[in-house]
Structure 1
């Protein structure tokens, strides 16, 4: 079936079931909803990416391919979000039948750009996460699992990207429905294949999201995991769970409206909810991939404002009629040994003996005793470094 005849059939069905032109706009179709849900999350995404790149390039100085791919995904997502916002003036959220022909053509062009960018960046962000996991899993079954997923997801993303970007011959036939053009899949050659293609990508995307975000759950099996570590991991997996739920929601909207063809063909009216969810899904996926990189550094910097010092005082009491002090010493000329109860620092005292050599020792006594007030025998360890924080 040619692109022209299939499009004519679609328009004929839409005219037959013409909607009320004065029907109130659903919340998802309103301009303020589109701007209010996409722009703030896009700003938050770039903040997360900026912190991630700062940590990788300036703090740990270990940038990698995962950082480059996250940056590429953020750039593509910005282009897609801007295109979605621009499409509002060309009929986004309105009934297709009541939009001028020129505007419909421009809208189809914007949809072509934003949708195919989405097909590409869903694969890019997943590959970036898997490369990030390879930094953690250096060997064993988890590394082989990540490598296997890396190959499968790369091929999956490449296949759907090709099908999306080159769904019509010539490519411009996607938004300029002309006689003699050939389209398939996302290009709408027929109703069944068109719906099946959208549902297939959404379902497999949700499946890979679930597997990839669940893969690091094995980190919870780490022995002696502190509460702070558990909290950090839980925060990361919370974002991952939200991404998966958005994927499920998007799939449900595509199935319910048959990719914009049910209950009657109206692409500009039924698709806003799935388009907004696409933008949010990528935003949250990028944020989720970046949090484990920069959060430990920010947390450590914040805790430095409230530096706590650990002070350890070791006391040894002896009988007044016994030795004056209990000493730990090595009777070796020219060599002074360092002894410490904590293993981190020591205070060395030197006593001049009758036979002319100096004997080194460390001793701990009551800091309020007479000996301490005379400046002899006080041993105090002060550990002033901040408490260590967990990092991925």
Structure 2
């Protein structure tokens, strides 16, 4: 239906463009030769295809009817965009290349068509051709809007190819005018640092991560990676200090830091410190995952009954499905320790229901587009924004 509506709009534009072309021809030539075919007939053939829900045939007919001139360039570009949006970028390439072959284009129009053609190549996965076209365009254009568009496309291309340094080379000189690019640039540095770690260049990785925090002081990913590097070197106290910075950077990522925090305190033989740290986190934000981890610590140090009491108190402040499921586990454990061969059937039934409700629920969600899943993606796979995916409260501790 969207294609039909859009084609109807394009049909009107084609009619206007054709009318303007005929009017210009009438003014310039008093005895114009009659066209080899009747445009009005082709026009209605295209309309018939459109009404019969045959958009491909309709578009082909309209392209054949519509001559290329300064009045119809925008219509041709719009047709190319329509093909690309429908997943037929190869047809969009044909339209845009046909436009570039016409001498009637102004330099401004020529650059617009080149940008569209670069879009087409990227949609087809022809990144090398898109890059050559964009670099050529940047070398000749004096139009600020075209320069910005070409740079954005280049950055998009380099991201898709994993060419993080190339993306930085394009972006860093423009950060003063585009501060919104600081977050993506910080994540590109994290990607570079990840490669450094894989190549055993940990000192270089630290430099890249510190540079990431200079670009974006709230880059949770860089702080986590610095903590992991400190852990690998046996500097557990330093790792804990790094992790303690994350709630101030983004409190929504408190659940993300917990596995590493627990490991750092355990390796540092400081379970008391872990309990105090978790209690401090709960005083700031009572996340389910923090409640559950604190319950595990109390269970280990003071027994299951104290854990039930502590978790119950916390859930009275911040009830959640994941927390209730964990509390049921504690009650079942308490009954087992009391000598009951099987847990209370009512607890078993409740456990079955909470497990079923939690089983298929995602643990992370993009705050921009709503994409969700079990894995934390630093770059959302759907909208491709960096740092927008976060744990879902109430489920993240399950």
TM-score of the pair, normalised by structure 1: 0.21
Larger Rg: 1
**What TM-score comes out, normalization by structure 2 length?**
0.20
- Judging by fraction of residues, say which structure has more helix: 2
